[in-house]
Amino acid sequence: MTAPDKSSLQAGVQKVLDTYTAGTGPNNVPGAVAYVADASGKEVAWAASGVLELGKPEPMKNDTIFWIASCSKLLIAIAALQLAERGQLNLDDSIDKFLPEAGKLKMLKDGSTPNKIPTVKDTLLILSGQACALFNQELADWFGSNGLPPTAHLDSKKERLYTPYASQPGEEWNYGFNIDWAGMAVEVVSGKDLETYYRENIFEPLGIKEITFKPRSAGLVPRLAGSHVRNEQGEVTNFFPLLLPEEDQMEAIYPGAGLFANGSEYVKILVALLNKGTHPVQGGTILKPESVELLKKDQLEGKLIDDLERKFDRVIPAVISDRFVGCLSPGLKKNWAYGGLRLKEKHPKRGLSDDVR
């Protein structure tokens, strides 16, 4: 069977985007960009449609910058596995070896001492016992008792990352600031802030110039797409990015959700992973082949797998879905790898299975 040529694929992708940005229905969006490359690193399609932000005339363009939220998580997993390859980081070490404050925290429910201190591996797999105040009412109430709103959990102050354990470390998959602890460990081990570490060890080897935790200082804000949320009626409204702090006041970087990127740049990372860690065009290597396999290997067993279906608290109903991971694939077999959620059967709409997302 002859593969379709690039022009027909480009036209097809453009048509899909135009369809979904043409109106205000429950399936429509203000704007979108799609970048498609094959495993050889060759660009297959790159299309943009709609507007940069709802209610404004500026068009969405190929070079638009997006807050990529949880797509950020893949990079901290890569960074941790890089240090493990080099013998600089043992994933089985307790996290308090690098973050002493983590060893002093108590349980949120009753103030007792946790059964154990989480390991670096626990933090990467969302098993550290840390929660997020936007998805956990008990933790939101704890913030309230300290005179703070739940959104204070995202104000880039380092002390906010040391909240009481919402669940026993290693015993429950509990979405929260687990991976951000892993990021802090990478900074301690490498002696570099994550922006610098990523640039030297991931971005430069792959020729990436437009992925950053600091879009203001990088001059990318004029091209930044607006953030939006869909309410229960299906309407899309504007919403300020949860992670766009004043950079001169940043005490902590959030590797779990803090990156801003152009789509074509992010795909370079995916292409490298499709080629066992080495980009076929740029030539840079970010992981050894065995580490790429580890990145996508199932890591959860028993009850921990069931936790992926658990509903999360809608602390701010206007902007938070009541399902966070489950909303991607409710009822389907799934697992969690260092690289993220892994579906184990075909999705009825997305048609993909055995993938890491």
Instruction: List, as one string, the DSSP characters of 209-250.
Output: -SEES-TTTTT-GGGBPPEEEE-TTS-EEEE--SS---GGG-
Question: Is 198 found in the same domain as 53?
Answer: no
Q: What CATH number corresponds to the domain at position 262?
A: 3.40.710.10
What distances in angstroms separate CA 316 from CA 127, 231, 336, 339, one per listed residue? 24, 12, 26, 28
pLDDT tens digits along 34-81: 999 999 999 999 999 999 999 899 999 999 999 999 999 999 999 999
Residue range 270-274: average pLDDT? 98
pLDDT of residue 4 exceeding 60: no
Q: Is the pLDDT of residue 2 over 60?
A: no
Same domain membership, residue 74 and residue 16: no
User: How many structural domains compose the chain?
Assistant: 2
pLDDT at 151: 85
Highest mean pLDDT range out of 112-126, 172-186, 331-345? Answer: 112-126
Determine contact, residues 185/99, Cβ cutoff 8 Å: yes
Within this chain, do residues 68 and 33 fall inside the same structural domain, yes or no? no
Q: 22 and 113: one domain?
A: no
> Of 11, 45, 62, which one is at a domain's C-terminal end?
62
Token duo for residue 5 = 């040529």
Same domain, 73 and 209: yes
Domain residues for the domain of 85 are 63-357
pLDDT for 169 equals 97
Q: Which residues pair with 59 in a beta bridge?
A: 51
Residue 236 forms beta bridges with which residues?
Answer: 230
pLDDT score recorded for residue 23: 78
Residue 1: its pLDDT value, please?
A: 43
User: With bands split at pLDDT 50, 70 and 90, how would you rate the model's confidence at 300?
Assistant: very high
Pairing relationship of beta strands 211-212 and 43-50 according to DSSP bridges: unpaired
| pLDDT of 102 | 96
> Scanning the structure block, which residue is given the tokens 């076929």?
280
Q: Are residues 54 and 153 in the same domain?
A: no
- Please tell me whether residues 43 and 99 are part of one structural domain: no
Around Cβ 185, how many Cβ atoms within 10 Å?
A: 25
Q: Containing H/E element for 44? A: strand 43-50
> Which residues, at least 6 apart from 160, have a Cβ–Cβ distance to it below 8 Å?
152, 153, 154, 252
Q: What is the mean pLDDT of residues 299-327?
A: 77
Residue 354 banded pLDDT, cuts 50, 70, 90:
low
Distance of CA 249 to the CA centre of its chain: 22
Q: What is the pLDDT of residue 89?
A: 98
Clarify whether residues 81 and 225 are in a common domain: yes
Classify burial at 65, counting beta carbons within 10 Å of its beta carbon; exposed 0-12, middle 13-18, buried 19 or more. Answer: buried
- What type of residue is 17? L
Q: Are the CB atoms for 262 and 248 separated by under 8 Å? A: no
Residue 154 has pLDDT above 50, yes or no: yes
Q: Between these two residues, 240 and 139, which has the higher pLDDT value?
A: 139
* Boundary (domain end) residue, out of 62, 84, 105: 62
Q: Is 278 in the same domain as 331?
A: yes
Say yes or no to pLDDT of 326 above 70: no
Question: Does the structure show a pLDDT above 50 at 211?
Answer: yes
**Pair (149, 172) in one structural domain:** yes
Identify the residue whose tokens are 């936007």: 134
Range of lowest pLDDT (173-182, 187-196, 269-278): 173-182
Residues 133-150 have pLDDT tens digits of 988 999 999 999 999 998
What is the rounded CA–CA span in Å between residue 17 and residue 61?
A: 12
- CB-based contact 128:175 (threshold 8 Å): no
Residue 328 has pLDDT above 90, yes or no: no
* Ranges 6-10, 22-26, 177-181: which has the least confidence: 22-26
| Residue 169: both structure tokens together | 């470390």
**Arithmetic mean of pLDDT, 113-132:** 97
Does residue 47 share a domain with residue 98?
no
Residues 130 and 199: their CA atoms lie apart, in Å, by 28
**Pair 38, 155 in one domain:** no
pLDDT-based confidence at residue 346 (cuts at 50, 70, 90): confident
Boundary-marking domain end, from 14, 41, 62: 62
